[in-house]
Amino acid sequence: MARESDPNQLHLSPMHLLHRAGQCADSLFETGAKDSGLTARQLAVLITVAGTKGLSQTGLVERTGIDRSTLSDITRRLQKRRLLQRRRTKEDARAYAVALTDKGRQTLRVIEPIARQADERLLAARRASSGVSLSTH
């Protein structure tokens, strides 16, 4: 006879909890950023590109942890919105370097405070639910 899973054990699964945390984080970000049309992953790409001059798409994969095909789709969408530009690198004519456009820099300036607020709300919810205080006193 097969043993049935205990549905009360789900809250003990780190894999499930991390997945749920990601869903909550995405939801908080999307609520604040809905007018921008950006996703949390697109923001991660913009932030990473802004912090590294001449970054190749391969370097972007390494720094963000986003798989190649998804990253390719994200950069294509950001290019279409004129937030990113791609150029062939001088070192390797097969590789592309990505950079923010002026519009991309402006969008990042507007969206970063919204993302910080979503981060703060997520952390505040976690502190409230666990009773943990991060106070330094």
Tokens of 129: 């639910």
Record the pTM. Answer: 0.78
Structural domain includes residue 7: no
Q: How confident is the model at residue 73 (pLDDT cuts 50, 70, 90)?
A: very high
Q: How confident is the model at residue 129 (pLDDT cuts 50, 70, 90)?
A: low
Domain holding 112, by residue range, is: 36-121
pLDDT at 49: 96
pLDDT exceeds cutoff 90 at 100:
yes
Token pair 């780190």: residue: 14
pLDDT at 132: 42
Structural domain includes residue 104: yes
Task: Reduce the secondary structure of the chain to three states and give it as a string.
Answer: CCCCCCHHHHHHCHHHHHHHHHHHHHHHHHHHHCCCCCCHHHHHHHHHHHCCCCEEHHHHHHHHCCCHHHHHHHHHHHHHCCCEEEEECCCCCCCEEEEECHHHHHHHHHHHHHHHHHHHHHHHHHHHHHCCCCCCC
Structural domain includes residue 13: no
Structural domain includes residue 110: yes
Structural domain includes residue 59: yes
Question: For the chain, what is the mean pLDDT?
Answer: 85
- Number of domains into which the chain is organized: 1
pLDDT at 57: 87
CATH of the domain at 100: 1.10.10.10
Q: How confident is the model at residue 4 (pLDDT cuts 50, 70, 90)?
A: low
Structural domain includes residue 58: yes
Percent of the chain with pLDDT over 70: 85
Lowest mean per-residue pLDDT among 3-12, 40-49, 106-115 = 3-12
Structural domain includes residue 135: no
pLDDT at 85: 94
Give which of 10, 7, 34, 9 is closest to 20, Cα–Cα: 10
Are residues 101 and 83 in contact, defined by beta-carbon separation less than 8 angstroms? Answer: yes
Q: Tens digit of pLDDT for each residue in 18-69? A: 898 888 888 888 888 888 899 999 999 999 999 888 888 889 999 999 999 9
